[in-house]
Amino acid sequence: MVHFLRTVKDVLINLSAGSFGVFFLLVYKLNDIKSSMVTMSIINGAILLLLSVIIDKKIYDRR
């Protein structure tokens, strides 16, 4: 079960990174402001961190 959760975590991180990449490009194309790119990368990092922390907690709760 722990292994399954780790796999799910990896998939989630890849998926969210991919979707943010697309969103990122859209935002960048819509307004060529460099600050929006920086903001997006910060938000992206925060959400990925949150996801991995939540899933890690679930993994440790199972043990």
What single letter denotes the amino acid at residue 42?
Answer: I
User: Could you tell me the two tokens for 28?
Assistant: 């960048």
* The dihedral sign for the CA sequence 17, 55, 49, 32: positive
pLDDT of residue 9: 72
Q: How far is CA 33 from CA 2, 27, 37, 44, in A?
A: 42, 9, 7, 17
User: pTM above 0.75?
Assistant: no
Of the spans 21-25, 35-39, 58-62, which averages the highest pLDDT? 58-62
Residue 63's pLDDT is what?
62
* Mean of pLDDT values over 8-16: 71
Q: Contact 43/21 with Cβ under 8 angstroms?
A: no
Please report which confidence band the pLDDT of residue 16 belongs to, taking 50, 70 and 90 as the band edges. low
